[in-house]
Structure 1
Amino acid sequence: MNTPRLSAGTALVTVPGRGLALRTPDGTFLRVDTGDVPPRSLLRRLGAGPDPDPAPDAAVPDPEPEQEPDPGTDRLVAAFEEAGYATRAPDSVPPPGTAAPLAGTAVLLLGDPVLTRPVARLLRTAGAAPEPVAPGRLTERATGAVTRTAVVWCLDGPVPPGLWDPADRLSRDGALWARCHREGARAWIEPTARGPYGVTAADIRLRRLAATPAHRELAAYWAGSRTADTGPRHTEVTAAHTAALLVHDLLAAARPGPDPVPPVLRGVDLRDLGTTRHPVLPVPPCAPFPGPPGEPGNPR
């Protein structure tokens, strides 16, 4: 049987005059009532070692002899395990889902090298083996994969009209669909679409148009009625920052279960890396606009 130990991110703290406290991975401190069990016994059982060195002016107690685990200590250790604060998993086996969250996922990567290079490096650390793919073969490769598929598309410039429209359907077919692009000095990292109700690029455009009084001007900008893009383009630093946020969102979407928070659109100012967050939701389907008077279904 493996020796119990504290779970990753947790720590037992000896508080002067108050016994033991547990610091959880999120920084919360919980009081530990050991009852009639000596705190040192619990520390030894969980591999936390002896008490910290006493203050120089404190009396040093005689060392206690080593004792066999007693039922009281066993009950405390079992309570720690039940709450998830202790584990018996071997050191070489990390908790499920923490070592390589994208292992076994086919990641198809497209876009500009200044962004795809740092994204690929981060994806490999998450257990993925990103593969470059041409836009014309994206649908074929994504829908023909036998394993879970993720598509990551990064652009160092505005999205050409209609470029992402075919890819928007991939999330409805089961692929994770992550993307980012730059408009002037701001990079936009769109939330990863997952499943039939994921937030697509078309949803993002509609939400952004609805949120600005300059919706006609923004629509014309996206349609290509603009002068040539003059940057500022991504640097190595801004690309690394953008790639980290993009892969973070992809990892969150790859976790099983419901999304813990609403999808978030991130905007990164490339001049100072200031980042904004905008929660967004998919745009529900609606009935088409009625046609001119006199057409069938619209008599007036």
Structure 2
Amino acid sequence: MAPEHPIARVPGSGADALVERDGTGVVRTASGRFLRLQNPPPGLIGALAGAPEAGTPAGGEAARAYAERLAAETAEREDGDAERRWPSARRNTALVGRGAVADALADALAGWGAAPARFPGGAELPAAGGEHPWDLVIAYADSPAERAGWDLLDTLPGRGTAWLRGYREGEVCFVDPVCVSPGDPAAEQVRRRRLAASPAPRGLDAWQRASAAPAGELPLPARTLLAARILTVALAWARQADTLDGYRGTLWRFAAATGEISEHPVLGYDAPPPLAERPDRPS
């Protein structure tokens, strides 16, 4: 018995073609849109699936030609979707860090056409890239010690490179505000802001300095949420979305032990001048 609504995947795409019993048809694109097919020939579904349909001439030329045109037009639409998702002019990316989260980020970026150059730590990026005009640098650290060298990368926005950071402290995860311009809060500024806002700043500072290695593997839900937040911010930057301004001043935090997600405003600030340049004060 023939299916009520014959359907087949358009080859080489994420779209499905569906033909009704009355001969009308639609294509559901990978983005979820429905487009009407114009005069689909008998046997189209079989031609798309690579198998002739019962009651239609095997290898019908009209159906094969229509299927080829449909596949070409669908591929063109999906190329346009990919360009809108992550513009090709902003795909020159670098990823600092290693481990499961960094690997997941690399795979996702590659799937979006922005496969990053990889560097194990912050100190290696300037030496390897020099004046390389990265569009975006993302860094991930599994421990406070792995954030060494990030302060060297705080100058990236001044060279036209966006600078995005995610990290964990034990099983507490953070994503810093994304730096797009020199006035945005940089890695060292966020660290100091966190110390200033902490009810136990000395303990936090001492713990960060003492934690040379991550305490075991980060739980899967935490890894998933952390990577998702980094990718969400990166995608907003790539598309220059309206949400980007909010991400430029927001620190994201997830505590795996309680499942609590929170966001905290963080503003950049001018670095204090060297001690010798400060005006004298009366003693």
**TM-score band (shorter)?**
0.5 to 0.7
Q: Which moved more, 1:112-121 or 1:102-111?
A: 102-111
Match of residue 235 from structure 2: 251
Q: What displacement does 1:240 show?
A: 2.6
CA contact (8 A) 1:103 1:126 kept: no
Letter in 2 for 1:176: A
Match of residue 260 from structure 1: 245
Match of residue 181 from structure 1: 167
Distance in 2 (CA, whole Å) between partners of 1:122 and 1:103 is 18
In structure 2, the CA distance between the partners of 1:236 and 1:257, relative to structure 1 (3 Å rule), is closer
Among the aligned pairs, what percent are the same residue?
Answer: 26
Distance in 2 (CA, whole Å) between partners of 1:93 and 1:189 is 31
Q: Deviations over 1:82-126 (max 9, x none)?
A: xxxxxxxx8456469523346652221121221111101211232
Distance in 1 (CA, whole Å) between partners of 2:87 and 2:77 is 18
Match of residue 50 from structure 2: none
Correspondence for 1:196 among 175, 182, 186 = 182
TM-score norm. by structure 2 comes to 0.61
Q: Which runs of 5+ in 1 are unaligned?
A: 1-45, 48-89
Match of residue 83 from structure 1: none
Report the secondary structure of 2:234's partner residue: helix
Match of residue 14 from structure 2: none
Distance in 1 (CA, whole Å) between partners of 2:102 and 2:88 is 17
In structure 2, the CA distance between the partners of 1:296 and 1:163, relative to structure 1 (3 Å rule), is closer
CA contact (8 A) 1:143 1:170 kept: no
**2:128 corresponds to 1:144:** no
Structure number with higher helix proportion: 2
**2:200 corresponds to 1:214:** yes
CA contact (8 A) 1:157 1:184 kept: yes
Correspondence for 1:239 among 209, 219, 223 = 223
Q: What displacement does 1:185 show?
A: 1.7
Match of residue 80 from structure 1: none
Distance in 1 (CA, whole Å) between partners of 2:256 and 2:193 is 22
CA contact (8 A) 1:142 1:170 kept: no
Distance in 1 (CA, whole Å) between partners of 2:96 and 2:160 is 18
CA contact (8 A) 2:85 2:239 kept: no
Letter in 2 for 1:144: E
TM-score norm. by structure 1 comes to 0.58
Distance in 2 (CA, whole Å) between partners of 1:230 and 1:287 is 35
**2:96 corresponds to 1:107:** no
When Rg is computed on C-alpha atoms for both structures, the one with the higher figure is 1
Number of residue pairs matched by the alignment: 209
